[in-house]
Chains A and B, each alone.
Chain A
Amino acid sequence: MLAVKRIILDVLKPHQPNALEFCQAIAKSGADYRVKLTVIEVDEKTETLEIEVTGNSIEIELIQSAITDNGGSVHSIDEVEVINESDVN
Protein backbone atom coordinates (compact mmCIF):
# COMPACT_ATOMS: atom_id res chain seq x y z
CA MET A 1 0.00 0.00 0.00
CA LEU A 2 1.29 3.42 -0.96
CA ALA A 3 1.16 5.90 1.90
CA VAL A 4 1.81 9.62 1.58
CA LYS A 5 3.90 10.64 4.58
CA ARG A 6 4.73 14.23 3.80
CA ILE A 7 3.51 16.83 1.38
CA ILE A 8 4.40 20.48 0.73
CA LEU A 9 1.81 22.66 -0.98
CA ASP A 10 1.94 26.13 -2.48
CA VAL A 11 -1.36 27.75 -1.44
CA LEU A 12 -3.04 31.10 -1.99
CA LYS A 13 -5.55 32.22 0.64
CA PRO A 14 -7.47 35.38 1.64
CA HIS A 15 -6.25 37.19 4.80
CA GLN A 16 -9.17 35.70 6.73
CA PRO A 17 -9.31 33.12 8.26
CA ASN A 18 -5.88 33.88 9.68
CA ALA A 19 -2.85 31.57 9.45
CA LEU A 20 -3.60 29.85 12.78
CA GLU A 21 -7.26 29.11 11.96
CA PHE A 22 -6.28 27.97 8.47
CA CYS A 23 -3.60 25.67 9.87
CA GLN A 24 -6.01 24.25 12.46
CA ALA A 25 -8.64 23.56 9.77
CA ILE A 26 -6.11 21.54 7.76
CA ALA A 27 -4.85 19.69 10.85
CA LYS A 28 -8.45 18.68 11.66
CA SER A 29 -8.73 16.75 8.38
CA GLY A 30 -6.56 13.92 9.74
CA ALA A 31 -6.16 12.45 13.23
CA ASP A 32 -2.34 12.46 13.25
CA TYR A 33 -1.62 15.34 10.89
CA ARG A 34 1.15 17.73 11.78
CA VAL A 35 0.86 20.98 9.83
CA LYS A 36 3.53 23.62 9.36
CA LEU A 37 2.42 26.82 7.67
CA THR A 38 4.82 29.48 6.43
CA VAL A 39 3.60 32.78 5.01
CA ILE A 40 5.74 33.45 1.92
CA GLU A 41 4.14 36.65 0.62
CA VAL A 42 1.41 39.05 1.72
CA ASP A 43 -0.56 41.02 -0.89
CA GLU A 44 -3.44 43.48 -0.52
CA LYS A 45 -6.14 40.81 -0.28
CA THR A 46 -4.26 37.51 -0.33
CA GLU A 47 -1.38 35.57 1.21
CA THR A 48 0.86 32.99 -0.42
CA LEU A 49 1.67 30.11 1.88
CA GLU A 50 3.86 27.08 2.02
CA ILE A 51 2.04 24.33 3.88
CA GLU A 52 3.81 21.20 4.99
CA VAL A 53 1.67 18.30 6.21
CA THR A 54 3.13 15.17 7.77
CA GLY A 55 1.18 12.11 8.85
CA ASN A 56 0.96 8.33 8.66
CA SER A 57 -1.30 8.26 5.64
CA ILE A 58 -2.12 11.68 4.21
CA GLU A 59 -5.26 12.05 2.11
CA ILE A 60 -4.64 14.92 -0.24
CA GLU A 61 -8.36 15.26 -1.15
CA LEU A 62 -9.27 15.99 2.48
CA ILE A 63 -6.50 18.57 2.77
CA GLN A 64 -7.56 20.21 -0.49
CA SER A 65 -11.15 20.26 0.70
CA ALA A 66 -10.14 21.93 4.01
CA ILE A 67 -8.18 24.53 2.03
CA THR A 68 -11.01 25.34 -0.42
CA ASP A 69 -13.63 25.36 2.37
CA ASN A 70 -11.61 28.16 3.97
CA GLY A 71 -11.34 30.13 0.75
CA GLY A 72 -7.85 29.03 -0.29
CA SER A 73 -6.65 27.35 -3.47
CA VAL A 74 -3.78 24.92 -4.05
CA HIS A 75 -1.41 26.30 -6.69
CA SER A 76 1.01 23.38 -6.79
CA ILE A 77 2.31 20.35 -4.96
CA ASP A 78 5.94 21.24 -4.41
CA GLU A 79 7.22 18.18 -2.51
CA VAL A 80 5.86 14.75 -1.62
CA GLU A 81 7.16 11.78 0.28
CA VAL A 82 5.47 8.45 -0.44
CA ILE A 83 6.31 5.07 1.09
CA ASN A 84 5.31 1.71 -0.29
CA GLU A 85 4.39 0.07 3.00
CA SER A 86 3.83 -3.40 1.54
CA ASP A 87 7.55 -3.45 0.66
CA VAL A 88 8.52 -2.32 4.17
CA ASN A 89 6.42 -5.05 5.78
Chain B
Amino acid sequence: MNFISQVKFLLRITRSDDIIRRYFVVNGFDGALTMLGLIIGFILSATVDVSIIINACLGAAIALGVSGMSSAYVSEYAERKRTLGQLEDAMISNLHDSAHGEAARGVPLLIALVNGLAPFVISLLILTPLFLSNSGIVFPLSPLYISVAIALLLIFFLGVFLGKVSGVSWLRSGMQTLVVALLTSGLIYLFIGK
Protein backbone atom coordinates (compact mmCIF):
# COMPACT_ATOMS: atom_id res chain seq x y z
CA MET B 1 0.00 0.00 0.00
CA ASN B 2 1.56 3.31 -1.00
CA PHE B 3 1.63 6.35 1.30
CA ILE B 4 -1.46 8.07 -0.16
CA SER B 5 -3.55 4.86 -0.05
CA GLN B 6 -2.40 4.25 3.53
CA VAL B 7 -3.39 7.79 4.56
CA LYS B 8 -6.80 7.40 2.86
CA PHE B 9 -7.26 4.04 4.59
CA LEU B 10 -6.42 5.47 8.03
CA LEU B 11 -8.77 8.42 7.45
CA ARG B 12 -11.51 6.03 6.36
CA ILE B 13 -11.27 3.68 9.34
CA THR B 14 -11.30 6.64 11.74
CA ARG B 15 -13.92 8.47 9.63
CA SER B 16 -11.77 11.60 9.75
CA ASP B 17 -12.01 12.89 6.16
CA ASP B 18 -14.95 15.14 7.04
CA ILE B 19 -13.09 16.49 10.09
CA ILE B 20 -10.09 17.42 7.92
CA ARG B 21 -12.36 19.17 5.43
CA ARG B 22 -14.05 21.08 8.25
CA TYR B 23 -10.74 22.14 9.79
CA PHE B 24 -9.42 23.24 6.38
CA VAL B 25 -12.41 25.52 5.74
CA VAL B 26 -12.76 26.86 9.30
CA ASN B 27 -9.10 27.73 9.76
CA GLY B 28 -8.61 28.78 6.14
CA PHE B 29 -11.49 31.20 6.63
CA ASP B 30 -9.83 32.42 9.85
CA GLY B 31 -6.59 33.08 8.00
CA ALA B 32 -8.26 34.91 5.12
CA LEU B 33 -10.41 37.10 7.37
CA THR B 34 -7.46 37.93 9.64
CA MET B 35 -5.35 39.03 6.66
CA LEU B 36 -8.29 40.97 5.23
CA GLY B 37 -8.75 42.76 8.56
CA LEU B 38 -5.06 43.56 8.92
CA ILE B 39 -4.74 44.87 5.38
CA ILE B 40 -7.88 47.00 5.60
CA GLY B 41 -6.49 48.31 8.90
CA PHE B 42 -3.31 49.35 7.09
CA ILE B 43 -5.30 50.90 4.22
CA LEU B 44 -7.22 53.03 6.71
CA SER B 45 -4.07 54.00 8.63
CA ALA B 46 -1.31 56.44 7.81
CA THR B 47 0.93 55.30 4.95
CA VAL B 48 3.57 52.85 6.11
CA ASP B 49 6.33 51.00 4.34
CA VAL B 50 5.24 47.74 2.61
CA SER B 51 7.93 45.82 4.49
CA ILE B 52 6.29 46.79 7.81
CA ILE B 53 2.90 45.57 6.54
CA ILE B 54 4.51 42.31 5.36
CA ASN B 55 6.18 41.77 8.73
CA ALA B 56 2.97 42.40 10.66
CA CYS B 57 0.86 40.16 8.38
CA LEU B 58 3.52 37.45 8.20
CA GLY B 59 3.77 37.46 11.98
CA ALA B 60 0.01 37.00 12.24
CA ALA B 61 0.07 34.25 9.56
CA ILE B 62 2.81 32.32 11.39
CA ALA B 63 0.96 32.69 14.69
CA LEU B 64 -2.27 31.45 13.07
CA GLY B 65 -0.42 28.48 11.58
CA VAL B 66 1.29 27.47 14.82
CA SER B 67 -1.88 28.03 16.83
CA GLY B 68 -3.92 25.94 14.38
CA MET B 69 -1.35 23.16 14.36
CA SER B 70 -0.84 22.91 18.09
CA SER B 71 -4.49 23.28 19.13
CA ALA B 72 -5.67 20.70 16.58
CA TYR B 73 -2.92 18.24 17.55
CA VAL B 74 -3.58 18.44 21.29
CA SER B 75 -7.36 18.10 20.97
CA GLU B 76 -7.32 15.45 18.22
CA TYR B 77 -4.65 13.37 19.97
CA ALA B 78 -6.76 13.30 23.16
CA GLU B 79 -9.90 12.39 21.17
CA ARG B 80 -8.16 9.61 19.20
CA LYS B 81 -6.57 8.19 22.33
CA ARG B 82 -9.95 8.07 24.05
CA THR B 83 -11.60 6.42 21.03
CA LEU B 84 -8.78 3.86 20.76
CA GLY B 85 -9.13 3.07 24.47
CA GLN B 86 -12.87 2.47 24.05
CA LEU B 87 -12.24 0.22 21.06
CA GLU B 88 -9.56 -1.71 22.96
CA ASP B 89 -12.04 -2.23 25.81
CA ALA B 90 -14.62 -3.58 23.36
CA MET B 91 -12.05 -5.81 21.60
CA ILE B 92 -10.40 -6.85 24.90
CA SER B 93 -7.04 -6.55 23.14
CA ASN B 94 -4.19 -4.12 22.64
CA LEU B 95 -4.54 -2.31 19.29
CA HIS B 96 -1.26 -0.36 19.49
CA ASP B 97 0.31 -2.20 16.53
CA SER B 98 -2.87 -2.36 14.44
CA ALA B 99 -4.12 0.10 11.82
CA HIS B 100 -6.25 1.67 14.56
CA GLY B 101 -3.19 2.31 16.72
CA GLU B 102 -1.35 3.76 13.73
CA ALA B 103 -4.37 5.96 12.96
CA ALA B 104 -4.56 7.18 16.57
CA ARG B 105 -0.95 8.38 16.26
CA GLY B 106 -0.90 9.56 12.62
CA VAL B 107 -4.33 11.12 12.04
CA PRO B 108 -3.89 13.86 14.71
CA LEU B 109 -0.62 14.84 13.00
CA LEU B 110 -2.32 15.06 9.61
CA ILE B 111 -5.26 17.04 10.98
CA ALA B 112 -2.83 19.38 12.80
CA LEU B 113 -0.90 19.89 9.57
CA VAL B 114 -4.05 20.77 7.61
CA ASN B 115 -5.35 23.00 10.39
CA GLY B 116 -2.05 24.87 10.59
CA LEU B 117 -1.19 25.05 6.89
CA ALA B 118 -4.66 26.17 5.71
CA PRO B 119 -4.52 29.66 7.30
CA PHE B 120 -0.78 29.98 6.66
CA VAL B 121 -0.91 29.16 2.95
CA ILE B 122 -4.06 31.24 2.40
CA SER B 123 -2.36 34.16 4.18
CA LEU B 124 0.72 33.80 1.97
CA LEU B 125 -1.46 33.86 -1.15
CA ILE B 126 -3.16 37.05 0.07
CA LEU B 127 0.22 38.63 0.83
CA THR B 128 1.69 37.74 -2.59
CA PRO B 129 1.11 41.24 -4.12
CA LEU B 130 2.91 42.77 -1.11
CA PHE B 131 5.88 40.40 -1.53
CA LEU B 132 6.03 41.23 -5.24
CA SER B 133 5.74 44.95 -4.61
CA ASN B 134 8.48 44.74 -1.98
CA SER B 135 10.75 43.02 -4.50
CA GLY B 136 10.35 45.90 -6.94
CA ILE B 137 7.40 44.91 -9.14
CA VAL B 138 5.15 47.89 -9.83
CA PHE B 139 1.36 47.42 -9.93
CA PRO B 140 -1.12 49.80 -11.60
CA LEU B 141 -2.83 50.18 -8.20
CA SER B 142 -1.77 49.79 -4.59
CA PRO B 143 -0.76 46.16 -3.76
CA LEU B 144 -2.90 46.48 -0.63
CA TYR B 145 -6.05 46.70 -2.78
CA ILE B 146 -4.92 43.70 -4.85
CA SER B 147 -4.39 41.77 -1.60
CA VAL B 148 -7.91 42.68 -0.48
CA ALA B 149 -9.27 41.46 -3.83
CA ILE B 150 -7.36 38.17 -3.49
CA ALA B 151 -8.66 37.75 0.07
CA LEU B 152 -12.25 38.29 -1.06
CA LEU B 153 -11.73 35.88 -3.97
CA LEU B 154 -10.28 33.17 -1.70
CA ILE B 155 -13.11 33.62 0.80
CA PHE B 156 -15.57 33.26 -2.08
CA PHE B 157 -13.78 30.05 -3.19
CA LEU B 158 -13.95 28.64 0.35
CA GLY B 159 -17.70 29.19 0.17
CA VAL B 160 -17.83 27.53 -3.25
CA PHE B 161 -15.91 24.55 -1.80
CA LEU B 162 -18.43 24.32 1.06
CA GLY B 163 -21.27 24.49 -1.44
CA LYS B 164 -19.77 21.63 -3.47
CA VAL B 165 -19.32 19.54 -0.30
CA SER B 166 -22.85 20.11 0.98
CA GLY B 167 -24.41 19.77 -2.46
CA VAL B 168 -26.09 23.20 -2.38
CA SER B 169 -25.65 25.94 -4.98
CA TRP B 170 -21.94 26.84 -5.15
CA LEU B 171 -22.79 30.39 -6.13
CA ARG B 172 -25.12 30.91 -3.17
CA SER B 173 -22.60 29.37 -0.77
CA GLY B 174 -19.77 31.47 -2.23
CA MET B 175 -21.85 34.62 -1.95
CA GLN B 176 -22.68 33.82 1.69
CA THR B 177 -19.03 33.69 2.71
CA LEU B 178 -18.32 36.77 0.61
CA VAL B 179 -21.07 38.68 2.45
CA VAL B 180 -19.43 37.71 5.77
CA ALA B 181 -16.12 39.10 4.49
CA LEU B 182 -17.78 42.31 3.29
CA LEU B 183 -19.57 42.71 6.63
CA THR B 184 -16.24 42.27 8.40
CA SER B 185 -14.69 44.92 6.17
CA GLY B 186 -17.64 47.24 6.90
CA LEU B 187 -17.25 46.71 10.66
CA ILE B 188 -13.54 47.49 10.47
CA TYR B 189 -14.24 50.62 8.48
CA LEU B 190 -16.95 51.62 11.00
CA PHE B 191 -14.60 51.28 13.96
CA ILE B 192 -11.33 52.62 12.58
CA GLY B 193 -12.33 54.42 9.39
CA LYS B 194 -11.66 58.10 9.04
Count of chain B residues near A, Cβ 8 A = 16
Count, A-B residue pairs, CB within 8 A: 41
Contacts known (A17-B99, A68-B97, A68-B98); A73 close to B91, Cβ less than 8 A: yes
**A46 — which chain B residues lie within 8 A by C-beta?**
90-91
By a CB distance below 8 angstroms, the chain A residues around B93 are 73
Chain A: number of interface residues, binned into ranges: 10 to 19
- Tell me whether A69 and B99 are in contact (CB under 8 A): yes
A residues within 8 A CB of B100? Answer: 14, 71
What string of 1s and 0s marks CB contacts (under 8 Å) between A50-64 and chain B?
000000000000000
Closest to A44 in B: B90
Bound complex: CA A14 to CA B95 (Å): 10
Question: Given contacts A45-B86, A68-B97, A71-B99, is CB(A12)–CB(B9) below 8 Å?
Answer: no
Sorted nearest first, the 4 A-B pairs with minimum C-beta distance are A16-B13, A45-B90, A71-B98, A71-B100
| Interface residues of B, Cβ cutoff 8 Å to A | 9, 12-15, 86-87, 90-93, 95, 97-100
